[in-house]
């Protein structure tokens, strides 16, 4: 059973690398993407998709035979668009976190002693 609370498994799920018998990336590579992305699962997945897109563009060409057709550049473009969408989503989440207050204020008017008041027995 796969633990999808694990960041490595989450990256695999997002990029569609779910075949345990023949993964596209090994765990160390996924951990490398996470390190580069400062542990952002969405950014790590975007980087992994960019790596797949680069590989697709370099290896696959646009080919057409009588009954088969392959368009590596189009596949690479689609992967890059997906990566860009993931980065935009990561930025939205990061911006939402930035909107949260970074400190909390407490009500000091409640029962108890006031500043400068000494404790007397």
Instruction: Give tens-digit pLDDT for 6-31.
Output: 999 999 999 999 999 999 999 999 99
CA distances from 71 to 54, 58, 80 (A): 14, 12, 15
Count other C-beta atoms under 10 Å from residue 96's C-beta.
9
Helix (H) / strand (E) containing 71: strand 69-71
Tell me the per-residue pLDDT of 76-106, one tens digit each, with 9 for 90 and over: 889 999 999 999 999 999 888 877 666 666 6
Q: Is the pTM of this model over 0.75?
A: no
């Amino acid at each position: 059973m796969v633990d999808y609370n694990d960041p490595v498994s989450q990256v695999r799920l997002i990029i569609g690398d779910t075949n345990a018998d023949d993964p596209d990336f090994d765990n160390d590579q996924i951990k490398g993407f996470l390190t580069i992305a400062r542990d952002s699962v969405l950014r790590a997945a975007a980087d992994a998709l960019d790596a797949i897109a680069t590989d697709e563009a370099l290896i696959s060409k646009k080919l057409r035979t009588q009954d088969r057709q392959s368009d590596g550049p189009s596949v690479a473009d689609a992967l890059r668009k997906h990566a860009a969408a993931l980065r935009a989503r990561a930025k939205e989440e990061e911006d939402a976190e930035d909107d949260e207050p970074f400190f909390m204020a407490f009500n000091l008017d409640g029962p108890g002693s006031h500043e400068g008041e000494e404790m007397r027995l």
